[in-house]
Amino acid sequence: MSKKWYRLDTAALLFPAVMNKNWSNAFRIEATINHEVDPFSLQKAVDDLKVRFPSFYVGLRSGVFWSYLQEMEETPKVMSDFAYPLTFMSSRELKKSCIRILYYKNRIAVEFFHAITDGTGGNVYFCSLLARYLEIKFDIEIGKSPFVVNHDEPVSEEELEDSFYKYTNNYPASRKEAKSYQLKGTRSKNDCFTLITGIIETDKLKQLSKNYNCTITVFLTAVMIESLIEMQKQNRFHHLQKQVKITIPINLRKLYGSKTVRNFVLPINVGVNPKKGDYSLAELCKSIASQFDYEITPQNMASRIASNVNPQKNILLQIAPLPVKRFVLGAVYYHSGVLTSSLNISNLGVIKLPEEMDPFVERIEFIISPQKNNINNCSVSSYKNHTYININRNIVESELERIFFSKLVELGLPVTIESN
């Protein structure tokens, strides 16, 4: 019997091309629970979700012209957590499985290779896995929610579609964009990642954001830009300063009503040019909010989608062998992605679980890996009135985290700091 296979979605085509020996584009979602993990119940939960989430139980394969995802021979085995979060996923490992299911004491984590899904799709899988684990472990029944699906209901075609093709238009947006200020630092030994977590009460963060007439994402982006401007002033003369921009992945499901669990996010770069003058935090919030409002419309995002979809229709690119495609995609990513941004801020938002799960789950966190050139990356998630801001870096210096969290404290937000 032949194994089922899936084309890489439009966003996923990029990720195999930009991998290198020290960085695989991956992210992690983890939960701290109120008891020591039972690996046997966790493995049974993983097995039970295979039919419900077939596009997650795949390995990355390479054809003559395109990479693709192929159904796994076996369900992935749960493993005791090791080393630091998001250790490199090698091509050999990805050929067998594009996900890792990990546990350590009272923590359950799943690490996803970005080619199979984005943070929203990964969160649906993770919360559904957590729910199924608790059902098996404690013989209880858990209700469903936007983040938890029934493990034995059939998967719909909409959940497996490449929504980029469905919501594109015929007016591709330009990729041309000015370069952004790039952070520098001393590489960590063995390219290890250092994770700093800032924990804030969500209600207080929400109220402060409201005081600045913006969302939490806009507020945190503005504070981060303010921090980066301060760092650039320390390192560059005014006439040599570059724009300071941050990449924000936009979940397109809400914009178009898509139900896909595959990739359906597009990044936008927002920021300011410090050469134009100084900005107060209120001015930064106003500027970033207006950039969000302008960019995040169905029409503008459809044009951004078109700039990714249309090249796939080019006959020369279609017939080019895979190594050529990877070279071209890697070059485009470097010049129009990496160099145009200082770092990413990815906000998974507020996670609400069925009430039956709340007594068992203490915290949920979202972690993304730093890139080769963007040496810091920031990810955010909120659960039970706590917001977890994870800044992951592959350099020794912690100046950005120090400045950023200090600014939040100065604004009246108590921050609890943890580190791996």
- 36-89: pLDDT as tens digits: 999 999 999 999 999 999 999 999 998 777 789 999 988 999 999 987 888 889
Can you read off the two tokens belonging to residue 319?
């017939």
Instruction: Give the model's confidence band at 180: pLDDT under 50 very low, under 70 low, under 90 confident, else very high.
Output: very high
Q: Amino acid identity of 100?
A: R
Q: Are 360 and 35 in contact (CB under 8 A)?
A: yes
Establish whether domains 5-166 and 189-347+370-419 are of one fold: yes
- Residue 161, pLDDT score: 95
Give CA–CA dist 57/46, Å, rounded.
10
Q: Residue 346 pLDDT > 90, yes or no?
A: yes
By three-state DSSP, how is residue 282 classified?
helix
Asked whether residue 1 carries a pLDDT value surpassing 60, the answer given is no
Q: What integer is the mean pLDDT of 140-159? A: 92
pLDDT digits (tens, 9 = 90+) for 362-406: 999 999 988 766 788 999 999 999 999 999 988 888 999 999 999
The whole-number average pLDDT for the span 18-31 is 84
More confident of the two residues 338 and 253? 253
The mean predicted confidence, pLDDT, of the chain is: 91
Give residue limits of the domains in the chain: 5-166, 189-347+370-419
Confidence tier at 2 by pLDDT (50, 70, 90): low
pLDDT tens for each residue of 187-236: 887 767 889 999 999 999 999 999 999 999 999 999 999 999 999 998 87
Q: Higher-confidence residue: 8 or 202?
A: 202
Distance CA 71, CA 50 (A): 10
Task: Kindly give the residue spans of alpha helices, DSSP state H, lying in 107-173.
Answer: 119-138, 157-160, 163-166
pLDDT band at 15 (very low <50, low <70, confident <90, very high): confident
Q: Please report the pLDDT score of residue 317 as a whole number.
A: 66
Tens digit of each residue's pLDDT (9 = 90 or more) over 248-271: 999 999 999 999 999 999 999 999
Tokens of 77: 């085995």
- CATH superfamily placement of domain 5-166: Chloramphenicol acetyltransferase-like domain (3.30.559.10)
* pLDDT score at 369: 87
> Residue 176's pLDDT is what?
86
Fold designation for 189-347+370-419: Chloramphenicol Acetyltransferase (3.30.559)
Residue 331, pLDDT > 80, answer no
